[in-house]
């Protein structure tokens, strides 16, 4: 055999050996805990829910799944468990669409939970890429197919995270790892699952949530009606709702779905009223349709908090016209536990009619500042 041929074989063998060593190292450390074979020190978690959820579904013990958008991401699992008497896994994903939520829920439902708590809103049912075209969610990791497993085990990015998870076990390197996490170089940053994406305890609520921020957001949307209307297409929303929500729920008749619409501030709807009335009509029409459809399903309990005036009219509860504080998260849990704001199957659109009346009557300058 010629010298060049021998060198080529050595090069290929070295490359294969290196790849196998990387894969073996990643398998042992397993940042996402997809395989659950080894437990070396503390677990670390990635705040990117679309990535981390794939691991949580496979390794957590739960009877309840908690799903939603950024309006649900700050809940702590311990709070959910204590208030509702469940063992939950939080899979909420900021900015997620119904396509993403349905896909992740479908993966979680293979673990046979008894309850799904699902924070829905009209915006998640906008048209969005299908899972195969979604660049933000690692679909093959949820499917645990050959492509997903190989991409995970042979990834240099996974190897980087694995290396630093191992190095964090040495006290002198903890501070270095903390600095790299703060700089966003390391993605696995949290070692307490209960605090993953929870509202930071060191931030004062009144600083993050106050009427000045809500009013500023309202003023912005009045000047940008195009932003208000973006994604609101009634026919598309109904189609996506039937596929991603009704289809999933009807396909799991043995699972109870507690679904709730969150308490947007009244200014969200008033901004539509004043700057984009056509959009507000779509919201009302879709809400009435969704309420009727959901309450017709025997394994659904629907809660509608959008007309909860004591929350929605107090602008100090909000960071903008949509996002409420963690204090409201806790209030919603107590209402879910007590069955408050449960939508009646006999009058499924009553909450929508109450919301309409509030929006029509609202006059910004007359509200307390």
- What is the DSSP code string of 95-139? T--HHHHHHHHHHHHTT--SEEEEE--GGGGS----GGG-TTS-H
Greatest pairwise CA separation for the chain in angstroms: 91
| pLDDT confidence of residue 368 | 43
* CA 12/CA 15 separation, integer angstroms: 5
Cβ atoms of residues 99 and 129 within 8 Å: yes
Query: Is 307 in a helix, a strand, or coil?
Result: coil
Q: HSE (CB half, 13 Å, CA atoms) of 61?
A: 0
Pairing mode, if any, of strands 115-119 and 64-67? parallel
Q: How many other CB atoms sit within 10 Å of the CB of residue 133?
A: 9
| pLDDT confidence of residue 296 | 98
Q: Is 110 exposed, middle or buried (0-12, 13-18, 19+ CB in 10 A)?
A: exposed
Tokens matching residue 123: 């915006």
Mind listing the pLDDT tens digit of every residue in the chain (369 residues)? 676 766 666 666 776 778 888 998 999 999 999 997 667 667 899 999 999 999 999 999 999 999 999 999 999 999 999 999 999 999 999 999 999 999 999 999 999 999 999 999 999 999 999 998 999 999 999 999 999 999 999 999 999 999 999 898 787 888 888 888 888 899 999 999 999 999 888 888 889 999 999 999 999 999 988 898 888 999 999 999 999 999 999 999 999 999 999 999 999 999 999 999 999 999 999 999 999 999 999 999 999 999 999 999 999 999 999 999 999 999 999 999 999 999 999 999 999 999 999 999 998 764 543
Residues in the chain: 369
Burial 56-93 (b: 16+ CB within 10 A, else e): bbbebebebbbbbbbbbbbbbbebbbebbebbbbbbbb
Tokens matching residue 34: 């997809």
Q: Is 235 exposed, middle or buried (0-12, 13-18, 19+ CB in 10 A)?
A: exposed
Q: Is 195 exposed, middle or buried (0-12, 13-18, 19+ CB in 10 A)?
A: middle
CA dihedral 108, 193, 71, 233 (to 10 degrees): -40
DSSP state of 365: G
Query: What pTM does this model have?
Result: 0.92
């Amino acid at each position: 055999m010629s010298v060049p041929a021998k060198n080529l074989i050595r090069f290929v063998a070295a490359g294969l050996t290196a790849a196998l060593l990387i894969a073996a190292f990643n398998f042992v450390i397993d940042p996402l805990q997809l395989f659950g074979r080894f437990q070396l020190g503390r677990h670390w978690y990635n705040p990117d829910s679309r990535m981390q959820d794939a691991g949580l579904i496979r390794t957590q013990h739960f009877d309840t799944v908690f799903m939603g958008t950024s309006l649900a991401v700050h809940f702590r699992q311990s709070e959910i468990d204590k208030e509702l008497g469940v063992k939950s896994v939080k899979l909420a994903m900021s900015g997620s669409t119904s396509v993403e939520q349905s896909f992740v829920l479908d993966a979680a439902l293979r673990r046979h939970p008894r309850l799904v708590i699902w924070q829905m809103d009209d915006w998640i049912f906008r048209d969005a890429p299908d899972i195969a075209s979604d660049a933000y969610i690692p679909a093959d990791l949820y499917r645990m197919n050959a492509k997903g497993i190989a991409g995970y085990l042979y990834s240099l990015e996974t190897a980087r995270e694995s290396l630093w998870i191992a190095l964090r076990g040495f006290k002198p390197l903890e501070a270095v790892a903390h600095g790299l996490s703060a700089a966003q170089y390391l993605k696995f940053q949290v070692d307490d699952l209960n605090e993953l994406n929870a509202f930071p305890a060191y931030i004062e609520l009144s600083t993050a949530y106050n009427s000045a921020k809500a009013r500023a957001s309202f003023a912005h949307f009045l000047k940008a009606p195009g932003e208000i209307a973006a994604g609101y297409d009634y026919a598309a929303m109904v189609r996506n709702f039937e596929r991603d929500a009704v289809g999933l729920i009807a396909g799991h008749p043995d699972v109870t779905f507690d679904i709730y619409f969150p308490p947007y501030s009244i200014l969200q709807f008033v901004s539509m009223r004043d700057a984009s009335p056509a959009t507000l009509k779509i919201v009302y029409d879709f809400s009435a349709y969704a309420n009727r459809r959901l309450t017709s399903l025997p394994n659904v309990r629907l809660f509608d908090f959008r007309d909860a005036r004591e929350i929605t009219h107090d602008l100090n509860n909000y960071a903008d016209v949509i996002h409420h504080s963690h204090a409201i998260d806790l209030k919603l849990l107590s209402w879910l536990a007590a069955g408050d704001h449960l939508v009646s199957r006999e009058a499924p659109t009553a909450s929508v009619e109450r919301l309409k009346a509030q929006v029509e009557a609202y006059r910004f300058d007359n509200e307390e500042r």
